[in-house]
Structure 1
């Protein structure tokens, strides 16, 4: 039988009990929700193309007519067309990785004042502390 010194056992017990609360903690998704709300507010002002390109990483993924595309290809950075209908959305639910560097938001969407669906956005924390989305998609629905 191998005997270990009591001090080693106590040190191991202290390390495990000290680390347990840190592992049980969850990150707060509030910064992701704030980024989503700022993204929606800016897009309502500057238009879809400008808003989507400003709040995304360069190679962010969207679906365009059922095919995966990049945000810059689908939404080139340009002025808002005069006839662009209003696009509004709001987060109903959000989550964040325990690491605090990846999160998501999901909620309802309206186009031109009519409920048209639900969105799902994946967000990534950037080196400068800002949040940018890496995937944006959703599904159609009227309720």
Structure 2
């Protein structure tokens, strides 16, 4: 019996590793996301988040907190949550990617929202890096899934701390420039930093798709945004990166609110860095 139990545990570990296996494709990332969802449905969020998180994973609940620390202190959690990725992308180096889409919470009285999860490769497996969700009404718009495969593959190479820091500084400088322009040119400055097919996740709203619609949304309700960046990471392949921090939002209705934010950047053909996903969640103070 002891031998059978040990064999069963070994098989379970092997299946989990296979489910999270990263072969550098977006397909493997989407598969890892789906297996993560199945794990939560079966085992609850506590066990699943601990399994799929690394030592440095951040979850926004609503402020950023270490995932393993947060879930280790929780009782066995809710498994009445489901979600479906409808946008995913992986870096050329296969070490960083993201998924986003709608989620549902609860069974009798459902709650809805949009989520963003950033994934990093660790020992050949996909692990959560950042996870957050925004609330919304039941999504009505149908979104065609976009699972974007890397245009080619750049084999990861060893990078020393100086090179890693220099790469991150490029992203920090980009966001600092964005913040300066938001102060001097107003909310319309976002337009110069958004990809044409960018996505915005903002509480109380369905996912807003496309540069034009996002700028229109900002112009319609927000007068000022000030960004304070607290973290950054970048793919070795130098084509995807993300930042997170705190945004102070001044609405046109003479109201100020603080949000935690996560921005995903991608590198354009002209080597500029542009926003492909923006996600905001209310900050607790």
- Determine the structure 2 residue equivalent to 1:71: 67
**Is 1:118 the equivalent of 2:114?**
yes
Give me the whole-angstrom Cα distance separating, in 2, the residues matched to 1:125 and 1:72. 17
> Are the equivalent residues in 1 in contact too, given 2:117–2:132 (CA < 8 A)?
yes
Verify the 8 A CA contact 2:40 2:79 in the aligned structure 1: no
Offset of residue 103 of structure 1: 0.5
- Structure 1 residue 75: deviation in Å? 1.3
Stretches of structure 2 lacking an aligned partner (at least 5 in a row): 1-23, 140-285
Q: 1:96 aligns with which of 74, 86, 90?
A: 90
Aligned ranges for residues 1-143 of structure 1 at < 5 Å? 28-64=25-61, 66-76=62-72, 80=76, 84=78, 86-113=80-107, 114-127=110-123, 129-142=124-137, 143=139
* Whole-angstrom distance in 2 between the partners of 1:77 and 1:67: 16
C-alpha distance 60-99 of structure 1, shift in aligned 2 (>3 A): same
Gaps of 5+ in 1: 1-26
Could you tell me how far apart the structure 1 residues matched to 2:28 and 2:58 are?
Answer: 21
Q: Deviations over 1:31-71 (max 9, x none)?
A: 1101100000001100011111111112200112x321110
How many residues of Structure 1 are paired with residues of Structure 2 in the alignment?
113
TM-score, reference length from structure 1: 0.72
Task: Note if contact 1:95-1:105 (Cα within 8 Å) is conserved in structure 2.
Answer: yes
The alignment's TM-score, normalised by the length of structure 2, stands at 0.37
User: Pairwise CA RMSD of aligned residues?
Assistant: 1.8
1:28 Cα deviation after fit? 3.1
Question: Runs of at least 4 residues of structure 1 off by over 2 A?
Answer: 77-81
Q: 1:103 and 1:85, CA in 2 relative to 1: closer, same or farther beyond 3 A?
A: closer
Q: Distance in 2 between matches of 1:107 and 1:75?
A: 23
Higher RCO structure (Cα 8 Å, ≥6 apart)? 1
- Report what 2:167 is aligned to: none
Q: Cα distance, 1:115 vs. partner? A: 4.4
8 Å CA contact retained: 2:96, 2:120: yes
Partner of 2:172: none
